[in-house]
Chains A and B, each alone.
Chain A
Amino acid sequence: MVGAGIIMTDGITRRQFLKGTGAAMSGVAALEAGLGAVAGAAQAAAVDAAAGTSPVEIVLDVNGARRRVAVEPQATLAEVLRGPLNLTGTKIGCDRGACSACTVWIDRVPVASCMMLAIDVGDRPVVTIEGLARGEQLHPVQAAFIAHDAIQCGFCTPGLVMSCAALLETNPAPSLDDVKAATSGHLCRCGTYPHAFAAVLDAAKSAKG
């Protein structure tokens, strides 16, 4: 663990604390999440005023909810999602943008959340794997991944699903080459690609029909 460490605030449980450290957090702290919306402009001003390396309170638009969270400037979006926001579906693989396990959407395009500072997200909407389903109804790509056994160890799966779902947003009838291009940043050590490709093509077909 690097950085200035986890800041304990009132109300944080020991379990949350351990969860945070276990995920190799570099200095992120949970405040009350989702309470008291702060306007984007006010947030930017607060960020501008930050003078030291101490935690800064920001508001992230995650899966349609405004989540208030105190972050140290060096905390990545991936760390903040997994730590104080408790959205552990997003995985951290290489932590260098090389494996894409941490893929989330920012402004509806897939990005590597391990190479994005949380403080740099601003008011751009973030969608994580937890935000893809509509209530109990899975996103067509999620359902197709299950139907095609496109999951082995599952570590790359959330990121891979985010890339595939993003592809269908812009290209509802992709070719196999389109799917390969959209997923070319991902690393699946289990080698589940063929089933994942079939799942995406199937999801595209079923969405059309």
Chain B
Amino acid sequence: MKGFAWTSAPDLAAALRAGSATVAATMAAAPGPAAANAVILKAGGIDLLDLMKEGLLAPQRIVNLRGIPELGRIAEEPGGALRIGAMVTLAQLAGDPLIRARYGALAQAAGGSASPQIRHVATLGGNLLQRPRCWYFRSIHHDCARKGGRQCFAFMGENQYHAIFGQYGCAIVHPSTAATALVAFDASVELVGARGARRTVALENFLLGPEVDLQRENALAPGEILTAVLLPAPKPGVRSFHLRQGELDSFDWPIADVAVVLELGRDGACRRAGVVLGAAAPVPYRARGAESALAGQRIAEGTARSAAIAALAGATPLAKNAYKVPVFEALVRRAILGAAGQA
């Protein structure tokens, strides 16, 4: 790691005054003075240190957000919505009784991520803003499209862990499994701008596919801080489930993960379904076909199977990742049945 100056921000105002750059913009500007002079905000620091150790990022200054108490809280809002501070760790998410009771798929997704060591440090904000794990993107030897180069090496190369949907010039998958669950719950992110202006954006709109921007995975603006994730109050009859499948069960990235949120009526019919696929596309992939296949239906093996097939319709796998299609079909079906309590 190259040297940098270090500041610990005591409060949000101080962090905003630091005038931070986004990691994506800094990497896109490298090499050059804009990258060398960049001020980067640090949450848990897991991805930040990884990028720096790989020689992909060398900021001039790091501003630590760990000392800002308001970013580390989980609080129920009037009306039942839940506000999760950006500095809440994955371990806290996985263990929080309220999240486990109301947003089970999120607790499952967070608890299944990485290792206990990482979950104790990695934060929800950092998890959502981490950069992709694509080995070409993470390699200083490959000047890939996402880093400003001319090509996506994955299309012609080793793409077994890459996207099966939405590879518009870049075949990354979004690295956050928490995001898979959050999109299924229609979560939003709260962003505070340099002048203190707050805006709330649906997470699904905040995360950007390569067709919108090839070099960044989200709409975070320079100087802006992701302060919280907002989960809407759970509607009656909502049940959720998250399933991940790695090649290994211990500390491995998923080859597929699926979050299902079902709103079941008293008659047992599904009023509304959220079905989201992670590790499938450059952003969490909302399987609208599956959602509409479930709407109005009673959940059973057959409906779950049809929805799973609908979820994978239109997949465009690459040379080495077509195996993900049947894996996803199995996971979607199982997660639907799991959410309905029929697993």
Contacts and interface: CB of A to CB of B under 8 A. Distances in A.
Classify A-B as touching or not with yes or no (CB < 8 A).
yes
Interface of A: 2-4, 26-27, 44, 47-48, 50-53, 56, 72-74, 76, 95-98, 100, 103, 106, 109-112, 115-117, 119-120, 122, 163, 180-182, 184-186
Interface in B31-74: 42, 45-46, 49-50, 52-53, 62, 64, 66-67
B267 to A, nearest CB: 38
B118 interface: yes
Contacts of A97: 46, 50, 114-115, 117-118
A74 B40 CA distance: 14
B323 interface: no
A74 B120 contact: no
A184 B115 contact: yes
Contacts of A115: 45-46, 49-50, 118, 121
B6 A50 contact: yes
Nearest to A97: B118
A120 B117 contact: no
B5 A50 contact: yes
Contact of B116 (A117, A120, A163): A163
B141 interface: no
Nearest to B62: A73
A111 B121 contact: yes
Contact of A110 (B49, B120, B249, B250): B120
Interface string B211-252: 000000000000000000000000000000000000001110
Given A3-B1, A110-B116, A116 B53 contact: no
A27 B2 CA distance: 10
Q: Which 8 pairs across A and B sit closest by C-beta, in order of nearness?
A: A185-B115, A53-B3, A73-B6, A184-B250, A74-B1, A112-B117, A109-B120, A185-B251
Contact of A74 (B3, B66, B250): B3
A115 B5 CA distance: 18
Given A112-B115, A112-B118, 4 more contacts: A50-B7, A97-B46, A184-B115, A184-B249
Contact of B8 (A44, A76, A98): A44
A174 to B, nearest CB: 13
B43 to A, nearest CB: 11
Contacts of A56: 6
B114 to A, nearest CB: 7
9 contacts: A53-B4, A73-B6, A97-B46, A97-B50, A103-B117, A109-B116, A111-B117, A120-B45, A184-B116
A100 B117 contact: yes
A51 B39 CA distance: 13
Nearest to B66: A120
B1 to A, nearest CB: 4
B251 A116 contact: no
B91 interface: yes
A52 B5 contact: yes
B10 interface: yes
Contacts of B42: 120
Nearest to A96: B50
Nearest to A116: B121
Nearest to B121: A111
A92 to B, nearest CB: 12
Nearest to A98: B251
- Most chain B beta carbons < 10 A, residue from A52, A56, A73, A100: A73
B284 to A, nearest CB: 24
Contacts of B91: 109
B45 A185 contact: no
A120 B249 CA distance: 31
Contact of A119 (B6, B114, B116, B251): B6
B115 A72 contact: no
B215 to A, nearest CB: 24
Interface in B84-129: 91, 114-118, 120-121
Nearest to A75: B1
Contacts of B2: 2-3, 74
A73 B117 contact: no
B4 A100 contact: no
A123 to B, nearest CB: 11
A47 B45 contact: no
B137 to A, nearest CB: 15
Contact of A73 (B3, B67, B115): B3
Interface in B249-265: 249-251
